[in-house]
């Protein structure tokens, strides 16, 4: 689609505001190798017109600044609701001073939108290659996550992903199944989507999370002290194949769960990892409660949750290898949150949940007794990359157990109104929340499904809108005796979900 050299004239409707966080960066194009100019598209997601005169686009430094609303440009700075506005790099096709004089690197960069008072309204950062003809944009407009866009649409709505047919119903990839609103009788039996056939070190797969940066990839880890994250393909032609791995430069004790969400800085996407397993603590609590002698074992000394900037994998050109492509030499942001528990308790945590905006994480206890404790971190958004932060987690709730079951993994629905939980052998359950991300409002666990093909469920995650699967659930399992390859299991959302 042709780039409009002159911005559309905007007409103020009703009251015009001078500052609004509803105006967002929506799409951008770097300076191309073939000489194409860079541009930034803004989108107004609010309901009232906004005047962006005096707002600034800032690149990697304050020296890379462009102020919107230069009088000589004769372009309206009033944005109507749902309007797109394109700002270009200075070139011969537009009047002098009406375009920004800095560019964006195809290999990575940063841009922020500040209002006239200097407050940051939006920002984005990319570290994946953007070649000629591809851009960095939100999907859908104004609210979606940034991703590589193969069909640039400056000044127009970003194209929606295609719908997927399943169970006789067409789903758009913007949907995530809401299991707490469904009838249990409508559920299907999960199917084995793939076997992890070339990951010889993944016989005890524990934790699972869909990649945000690379659709068609699932991040998993082994249930041990190897600080390695494995990227598995969830798409044809190589479902279940190992396509990459990250070796973390840290000392781990017992990795138990994994999640994907924004990084604590709110700019890039992160893989969150919980090194929180403590079988000794679980056994000690159980045996002591039953009046038996405590086991002769050592409690772990410390626990930590890491957030690691997620790398981009290029599945179209990469072939699966025996141990995948090592990504350990790439530089990436990383945070470490070392913690103790309120009251000095020692517990076994095997479920990690993170708010989608990366502002807070939660841990759920695995216990043989009633009732699993939920601990919450403080807000972590003020922490800078490279931070090693010590904190105390607060007890915020105690959940009702599924019958005769221990929770081995969990994941938030993106709207925060429910979370899904796996048990090793007693199936999958969902907890409805009355308030978003508020565990104190959790109801009783509702049975979702059995997973007869999964010997021991240890990880679970919702299929996210950016994946190429219909809505549903991913489940990770350990191998059973005599079975070398652990299965990846998929449960499709019923037609009424």
Residue 100's domain is classified under what CATH number?
A: 2.60.40.1260
What is 324-350 written as a DSSP string?
A: -EE-TTS---EEEEEEEEGGG----EE
Secondary structure element (H or E) that encloses residue 243, with its range: strand 242-247
Residue 196 and residue 239 in contact, taking contact as beta carbons nearer than 8 Å: no
Q: Taking 80 as the threshold, does the pLDDT of residue 260 lie above it?
A: yes
What is 245-286 written as a DSSP string?
A: EEE-SS--S-EEEEEEEE-TTSSSEEEEEEE---HHHHHHHH
Query: Does the residue 159 lie in any domain?
Result: no
Please, what is the Cα angle at 144 between 158 and 332, to 5 degrees?
A: 110
The encoded tokens of residue 308 equal: 């690691």
Q: Is residue 420 located within the same domain as residue 469? A: yes
Secondary structure element (H or E) that encloses residue 135, with its range: strand 135-139
Q: Taking 90 as the threshold, does the pLDDT of residue 410 lie above it?
A: yes
Query: Does the residue 340 lie in any domain?
Result: yes
**Mean pLDDT across the stretch 78-106?**
83
SS3 state of residue 280: helix
Burial per residue of 362-376, b for 16 or more beta-carbon CB atoms within 10 angstroms, e otherwise: bbbbbbbeeebbbbb
Under the banding of pLDDT at 50, 70 and 90, the label for residue 1 is very low
Under the banding of pLDDT at 50, 70 and 90, the label for residue 213 is confident
Q: Which residues sit opposite 103 in a β-bridge? A: none
Q: Is residue 270 located within the same domain as residue 297? A: yes
Q: Is residue 226 located within the same domain as residue 272? A: yes
Give 89's DSSP letter.
B
Secondary structure element (H or E) that encloses residue 25, with its range: strand 23-29
What is 152-211 written as a DSSP string?
A: --TTSPPPPPPPEEETTEEE-TT----GGGS-GGGPPPPEEEEE--S-TT-TBEEEEEE-
Domain ends where: 149, 176, 206? Answer: 149
Residue 220 and residue 476 in contact, taking contact as beta carbons nearer than 8 Å: yes
Query: Does the residue 154 lie in any domain?
Result: no
Q: Is residue 329 located within the same domain as residue 224? A: yes
Residue 457 and residue 424 in contact, taking contact as beta carbons nearer than 8 Å: yes
Q: Is residue 35 located within the same domain as residue 134? A: yes
Q: pTM of this prediction?
A: 0.65
The encoded tokens of residue 417 equal: 């109104």
Under the banding of pLDDT at 50, 70 and 90, the label for residue 159 is low
SS3 state of residue 2: coil
Q: Is residue 245 located within the same domain as residue 333? A: yes
Query: Does the residue 204 lie in any domain?
Result: yes
Q: Is residue 343 located within the same domain as residue 208? A: yes
Beta strand residue intervals within 46-177, DSSP E: 50-51, 56-58, 65-67, 78-79, 84-88, 109-114, 120-126, 135-139, 145-149, 164-166, 169-171
Query: Does the residue 4 lie in any domain?
Result: no
Q: Is residue 144 located within the same domain as residue 179? A: no
Q: Is residue 387 located within the same domain as residue 458? A: yes
Query: Does the residue 92 lie in any domain?
Result: yes
Q: Tell me what the pLDDT averaged over the chain comes to.
A: 80
Residues 341-379 pLDDT 10s: 988 888 999 999 999 999 999 999 999 888 999 999 999
Range of the domain at 474: 166-492
CA distance 50 to 19: 7
Q: At which residue do the structure tokens 């000392």 appear?
A: 251
In the chain, what percentage of residues exceed pLDDT 90? Answer: 31
**Mean pLDDT across the stretch 141-160?**
79
Q: Is residue 139 located within the same domain as residue 190? A: no
Residues 265-304 pLDDT 10s: 888 899 999 999 888 888 788 777 777 887 888 777 789 9
Q: Is residue 194 located within the same domain as residue 307? A: yes
Range scoring the smallest mean pLDDT among 162-166, 454-458, 465-469: 162-166
CA distance 113 to 111: 7
Q: Is residue 67 located within the same domain as residue 180? A: no
Instruction: Give the CA-trace dihedral at 307, 23, 161, 219, to 10 degrees.
Output: 0
Q: Taking 60 as the threshold, does the pLDDT of residue 483 lie above it?
A: no
Strand order, beta sheet including 373-376: 255-262, 269-275, 303-309, 334-341, 388-398, 373-376, 361-365, 349-354
Query: Does the residue 288 lie in any domain?
Result: yes
408: domain CATH number is: 2.120.10
Q: How far is CA 323 from the centre of its chain?
A: 24
Residue 210 and residue 463 in contact, taking contact as beta carbons nearer than 8 Å: yes
**Mean pLDDT across the stretch 109-117?**
91
- What is the separation, in whole angstroms, between the first and last Cα of the chain? 36
Domain ends where: 120, 149, 178? Answer: 149
Q: What is the pLDDT, as a whole number, of residue 468?
A: 66
Query: Does the residue 161 lie in any domain?
Result: no
Q: Smallest Cα–Cα separation from 252: which of 271, 287, 225?
A: 225
The structural domain count of the chain equals 2
Instruction: Looking at 276-400, list the stretches that DSSP marks H as alpha helix, in order from N- to C-terminal side.
Output: 279-289
CA distance 385 to 68: 30
Domain ends where: 149, 181, 208? Answer: 149
SS3 state of residue 353: strand
The encoded tokens of residue 270 equal: 């992160």
CA distance 154 to 407: 47
Q: Smallest Cα–Cα separation from 190: which of 452, 497, 458?
A: 452
Residue 239 and residue 233 in contact, taking contact as beta carbons nearer than 8 Å: yes
SS3 state of residue 288: helix
């Amino acid at each position: 689609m042709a780039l409009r050299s002159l911005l559309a004239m905007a007409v103020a409707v009703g009251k015009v505001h001078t500052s609004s966080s509803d105006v967002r960066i929506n799409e951008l194009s770097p300076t191309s190798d073939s000489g194409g100019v860079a541009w930034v598209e803004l989108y107004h997601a609010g309901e009232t017109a906004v005047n962006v005169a005096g707002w600034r686009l800032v690149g990697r430094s304050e020296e890379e600044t462009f102020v919107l609303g230069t009088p000589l440009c004769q372009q309206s700075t009033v944005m109507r609701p749902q309007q797109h506005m394109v700002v270009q790099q200075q070139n011969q096709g537009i009047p002098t001073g009406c375009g920004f004089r800095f560019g964006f690197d195809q290999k990575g960069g940063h841009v922020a939108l500040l209002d006239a008072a200097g407050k940051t309204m939006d920002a984005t950062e990319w570290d994946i290659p953007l070649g000629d003809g591809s851009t960095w944009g939100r999907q859908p407009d104004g609210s979606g996550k940034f991703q590589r866009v193969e069909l640039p649409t400056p000044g127009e709505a970003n194209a929606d992903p295609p719908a997927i047919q399943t169970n006789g119903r067409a789903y758009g990839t913007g949907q995530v199944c809401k299991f707490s609103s469904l009838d249990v009788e409508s559920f299907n039996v999960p199917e084995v989507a793939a076997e992890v056939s070339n990951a010889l070190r993944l016989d005890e797969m524990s934790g699972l999370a869909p990649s945000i940066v690379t659709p068609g990839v699932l991040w998993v880890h082994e249930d041990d002290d190897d600080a390695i994250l494995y990227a598995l393909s969830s798409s044809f032609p190589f479902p279940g194949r190992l396509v990459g791995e990250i070796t973390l430069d840290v000392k781990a004790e017992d990795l138990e769960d994994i999640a994907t969400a924004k990084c604590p800085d709110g700019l890039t996407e992160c893989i969150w990892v919980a090194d929180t397993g403590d079988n000794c603590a679980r056994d000690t609590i159980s045996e002591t409660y039953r009046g038996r002698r405590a086991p002769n074992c050592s409690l772990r000394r410390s626990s930590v949750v890491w957030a690691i900037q997620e790398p981009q994998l290029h599945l179209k050109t990469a072939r699966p290898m025996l141990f995948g492509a090592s990504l350990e030499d790439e530089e990436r942001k990383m945070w470490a949150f070392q913690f103790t528990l309120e009251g000095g308790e020692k517990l076994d945590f095997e479920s990690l949940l993170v708010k989608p905006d990366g502002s807070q994480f939660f841990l759920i206890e695995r216990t043989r007794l009633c009732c699993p404790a939920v601990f919450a971190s403080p807000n972590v958004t003020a922490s800078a990359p490279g931070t090693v932060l010590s904190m105390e987690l607060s007890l915020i709730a105690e959940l009702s157990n599924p019958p005769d079951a221990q929770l081995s993994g969990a994941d938030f629905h993106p709207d925060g109104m429910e979370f899904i939980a796996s048990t090793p052998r007693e199936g999958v359950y969902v907890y409805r929340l009355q308030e978003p991300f508020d565990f104190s409002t959790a109801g009783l666990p509702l049975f979702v499904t059995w997973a007869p093909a999964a010997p021991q469920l240890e990880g679970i995650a919702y299929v996210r809108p950016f994946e190429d699967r219909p809505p549903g659930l991913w489940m990770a399992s350990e191998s059973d005796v005599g079975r070398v390859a652990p299965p990846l299991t998929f449960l499709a959302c019923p037609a009424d979900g």
